[in-house]
Chains A and B, each alone.
Chain A
Amino acid sequence: MTEATPAPLEIPRRPSGAWRGPVILLAIVAITVVMCLPGIGIGVDLSAIARNWQNGADKIIKLLMPDWSFFPRTLPPLIETLQMAVIATAIGAVISLPLSFWAARATNPNAPARIIVRGILNVIRSVPDLLYAAILVAMVGVGALPGILALLLFNIGIIVKLVSEAIDTNDRGPLEAGRAVGATQTKINRTLALPDAWPAFANQTLYVFELNVRASTVLGLVGAGGMGLLIDAVRTFYRYDQLSLIILEILIVVIVIDLVSDAIRRRLV
Chain B
Amino acid sequence: MTTVLTPPPAITVIPDRPRRPWLIASWIIVTAIVVLAFWSIDINWARLADLPAEIVRYTFLMFGSPNWEQLPEALWQTWRSIEMAWVGTILGILLATPISLLAARGFGPASLRALLRGLFSLIRAVPEIIIAIVILSVTGLTPFTGALALAINGIGTLGKWGYEAVEAVPSGPIEAARAAGGGTLQVLRWGVWPQVEPAFWSFWLYRFEINVRSSAVLGLIGVGGIGDMLTSYTQYREWSTVGVLLIVVVAVTMLIDAVSGAIRRRIMEGARARVLS
Contacts and interface: CB of A to CB of B under 8 A. Distances in A.
B90 interface: yes
Contacts of B58: 135, 139
B140 A48 contact: yes
Contacts of B134: 59-60, 63, 240, 243, 247
Interface string A82-102: 111011001000000000000
Contacts of A217: 127
A122 B216 contact: no
A123 B253 CA distance: 9
A184 interface: no
A138 B237 contact: yes
Contacts of A32: 86-87, 90
Given A80-B41, A127-B246, A243-B134, A218 B254 contact: no
Contacts of B126: 247, 250-251
B137 A238 contact: yes
B235 interface: yes
Contacts of B137: 52, 55-56, 59-60, 238, 240
A75 interface: no
A156 to B, nearest CB: 15
B217 A128 contact: yes
Contacts of A48: 139-140, 142
Contacts of B41: 80, 83-84, 87, 144
Given A86-B37, A231-B133, A131 B144 contact: no
Interface stretch (A37-45, A173-181, A189-197): A37-45
A218 B130 contact: yes
Interface in A1-50: 28, 31-32, 35-36, 41-45, 48-49
Nearest to B225: A42
Contacts of B42: 80, 143-144
B167 interface: no
A130 interface: yes
Interface in B126-148: 126-127, 129-130, 133-135, 137-140, 142-144, 146-147
Contacts of A44: 87, 144
Given A35-B87, A42-B84, A128-B217, A135 B144 contact: no
Interface string A214-254: 11011001100000000100010010100100010011001
B277 to A, nearest CB: 12
A141 B47 contact: yes
A158 to B, nearest CB: 12
Interface string A136-154: 0111110111001000000
A264 interface: yes
A113 B221 CA distance: 40
A45 B127 contact: no
A35 B85 CA distance: 10
Contacts of A122: 254
Contact of A52 (B26, B138, B250): B138
Contact of B220 (A134, A139, A251): A134
Interface in A62-121: 63, 80, 82-84, 86-87, 90
Nearest to A63: B134
A135 B242 contact: yes
Interface in A203-219: 214-215, 217-218
A128 B249 CA distance: 9
A140 B47 contact: yes
Contacts of B242: 135
A50 B257 CA distance: 36
Contacts of B234: 134-135, 137-138
B202 interface: no
Given A144-B41, A214-B125, 8 more contacts: A31-B86, A49-B138, A49-B139, A83-B37, A90-B37, A127-B249, A128-B214, A141-B47
Interface of B: 22, 26, 33-34, 37-38, 40-44, 47-48, 51, 54-55, 58, 80, 83-84, 86-87, 90, 121-122, 125-127, 129-130, 133-135, 137-140, 142-144, 146-147, 213-214, 216-217, 220-221, 224, 227, 230-231, 234-235, 237, 242, 246, 249-250, 253-254, 257
Interface of A: 28, 31-32, 35-36, 41-45, 48-49, 52-53, 55-57, 59-60, 63, 80, 82-84, 86-87, 90, 122-123, 126-128, 130-131, 134-135, 137-141, 143-145, 148, 214-215, 217-218, 221-222, 231, 235, 238, 240, 243, 247, 250-251, 254-255, 258, 264, 267
10 contacts: A41-B83, A56-B137, A82-B37, A86-B34, A134-B220, A140-B47, A140-B54, A143-B44, A214-B127, A222-B220
